[in-house]
A and B are shown apart, each in its own frame.
Chain A
Amino acid sequence: MPSTLLNPILERHRRDGTRLMQILRETQETLGWLPPEVITAIAAAVGWPRARVQATAEFYSFFHTRPMGRYRILWSDNITDRMLGSTELMQSMCRKLWLEPGRVSEDGLVSVDTTSCTGMGDQGPALLVNYRAVTRMTPQRVDEIVELVRAGTPVLGWPEEYFQVEDNIRRSDVLLGHGLTPGAALAAALERGAPAMLDEVKAAGLRGRGGAGFPTGQKWAACRGAEADVRYVVCNADEGEPGTFKDRVLLTSHADLVFEGMTIAGLAVGASLGLLYLRGEYRHLLEPLETVLARRRAQKLLGAGILGRDFAFDIEIHLGAGAYICGEESALIESLEGKPGRPRIRPPFPVTHGYLGRPTTVNNVETLAAACLVAKHGGAWYAALGTRKSAGTKLLSVSGDCTRPGIYEYPFGVTVAQVLADCGAHEPLAVQVSGPSGVCLADHEFGRRIAFEDVPSAGAFMVFDHSRDLFETARNFAHFFAHESCGFCTPCRVGTALVARLMDKVAAGHGSPYDLEELFKLHRLMQGTSHCGLGNTACNPVFDTLEKFRPAYERRIKSLAFEPAFDLDAALSQARQMTGRDDAAAHLSNVA
């Protein structure tokens, strides 16, 4: 790569290794991949050992150390995309391009593969082309794209409607209907002052919307109280949990609210820099968000002397590169520092030792947006919404078998049945709440409530009707976790692969009751011994469906006796071919 191409990128990022993710991404956007000599040049420029740069380049699914074709097409492989026909559409695309999934065409033109959920569950089947989101794929669109690829039309010249991403807001409450002008909440927060703002957040009972529901006031106070020269605010917009897309909508249509929430957090904890970690799948939001930031700087809502006060704060956007694990806060921080996204050993927690070893508060997009409401209307007002232990409202990303998929905002405490009725779910069989790492509810549980004290949710709400096979859902999720395990600890790295293979074995009709028992054992083992939440929750979908939809498994069990996982005789085929043998000892029976 000529240094004329690389140098501006390096300069833009101050040859700073902690900005490696952005350097690699921008380089790849120019070159299509990351050739060895470029990795060497980047390593030299940032002053890191080459192996460290290589390790980061290889960890992330969206970075390529081999050429992947001028067009890289990745189909979103969440179960909701499959329910909308993505598998067949992808097969037909591959056929028409004379391609095998995962392979680059011989002329180096194109590759087609799958990727984890791209956050378009309400407008699938979705895909990414050169990391730009395409929604609502149809057979006709497949044909058109095949033609565009064959003709070599640059992606920038593709029809705009392909890249149209809808908000699909179906129900608004206090958050989506906030009616705040940019700066209103921030002015209120500045008026209160940092300590009082913190007290309001505590009084509001605001809890984290990223899944764990940790009290936000407590987190901010711990960060503020930690001894340090610098502190950071991080907004977690990794939104990798399959079936979740509410943060995308907040960042598309309420970006001011999110940035303002980050600024208020900065005020409360005593930080002057905020980092938004945006998942790579939302690459299309980068420029619009940068525009909002620039406007806010011009409006004195960011930068030095915010709203004429002695308070300075600014925000940078970091793009991820296709790793679900980077939603876990300590892995996210590693990624922000330019490293592979592997969860840190905790304690120490990010609130004392986070980004660059400094106190850092990591909050979900929705949590920060909600903080604006607290700043404007006060803690008592906010605490009065929702339930006793779950103050405020929750955004749900509804997808699957319903007539009105999209974003629904409810006060906490809404019943599952209410959401099902509102979204037009016809004869629902099950709902997967909070994504694969959450819980699968059967119809006798539809009276339960979305709230931290009953069914907590990070926002996903996937509906399955009576035509669906929940074994296939669980199998899809098992493969998701096997793909996304970061590989740091053995119980999860090996366990997720074992679970996926056992599910494939049962799917192929080789399962026995022993295999079902083994799935239970793996669930217990992984839950008890994994290093982070990914491994702890990876078996939830299998466990839940085994408990609640056991017939879906039993139907596939053909034999009470154990069966091998693969065809033993066929496993000798290559040796037979190479030796020319066909004697009795050159064969195996599949029954012992």
Chain B
Amino acid sequence: MSGKLRVATTSLAGCFGCHMSFLDIDERLLTLLEVVEFDRSPITDIKEVGQCDLGIIEGGVCNAENVHVLREFRKHCKTLVAMGACAVNGGLPAQRNHLDLRDILEEVYHTELGLAHGGIPNDPELPLPLNKVHPIHEVVKVDYFLPGCPPPADAIWKFLTDLVAGRTPHLAHGLLHYD
């Protein structure tokens, strides 16, 4: 392979815990940087995703902006990975799915004390929430799923080194956690 693998990452409806776990590969990050370079990512602060080999998505899809970002990633990344329970299944944010979104907005912005009764925000700058939170595979095609909340750093390391080496990523017993 010529040059380095170009990698973009983002967090949609997630908590950044998966990214923190990613950073937990610690000094191996330096080894990784010998073979990959980062495009858009919280690590680089690049705002627009460019042509990449690999896109890593943390978090599910809870609003219109998530949909746009996810589609941009899919368009620009040859391979797309769902990292963590939220991206894979909706995870924690999807706990709101058994409630009606209208009731939630009503409760938070009208009924609940302390939020200054400012009404439900309707600034066009703000992305609208979706009726339900969805896993990313319901919006775009996803090539690989890396489960865990978050996936352990060793699992992320194994996954990436497999991909870089041209192997189908394989997480053996001990690295595969679902929750």
Contact = CB atoms under 8 A, between A and B. Distances in A.
Answer yes or no: do A and B interact. yes
Interface of A: 490-491, 494, 501, 512, 514, 518, 562, 564-566, 568, 570-581, 583, 585-586, 588, 592
B89 interface: yes
B128 A575 contact: yes
Given A564-B138, A571-B132, A578-B120, A585 B127 contact: yes
B178 A572 contact: no
B2 interface: no
Interface stretch (B30-38, B48-56, B100-108, B159-167): B100-108
Given A564-B139, A579-B120, A572 B102 contact: no
A580 B132 contact: no
B72 to A, nearest CB: 9
Nearest to A586: B128
Interface residues of B, number: 30
Given A491-B178, A581-B122, 8 more contacts: A565-B139, A568-B67, A571-B131, A572-B130, A575-B105, A575-B129, A583-B124, A585-B127
B121 A579 contact: yes
B67 A588 contact: yes
B12 to A, nearest CB: 14
B143 to A, nearest CB: 10
Nearest 3 Cβ contacts at the A-B interface: A490-B178, A579-B122, A575-B128
A592 B75 contact: yes
A578 B130 CA distance: 12
Nearest to A515: B141
Interface of B: 64, 67, 71, 74-75, 89, 100-102, 105-106, 120-122, 124, 127-132, 134, 137-141, 147, 178-179
Contacts of A579: 120-122, 128
A431 B130 CA distance: 43
14 contacts: A490-B178, A501-B138, A564-B139, A564-B140, A566-B134, A572-B128, A573-B131, A574-B101, A575-B128, A578-B102, A578-B120, A580-B122, A585-B64, A585-B128
A592 B122 contact: no
Contact of A565 (B120, B127, B128, B138): B138
B175 to A, nearest CB: 13
Contacts of A586: 64, 124, 128
Contacts of B127: 585
A575 B124 CA distance: 12
A576 B128 contact: yes
A106 B138 CA distance: 36
Contacts of A577: 102
Nearest to A561: B141
Quick one: which of A501, A578, A581 has the most chain B CB within 10 A? Answer: A578
A173 to B, nearest CB: 47
A572 B138 contact: no
Contact of B141 (A562, A575, A585): A562
Contacts of B134: 565-566, 571
A581 B132 CA distance: 18
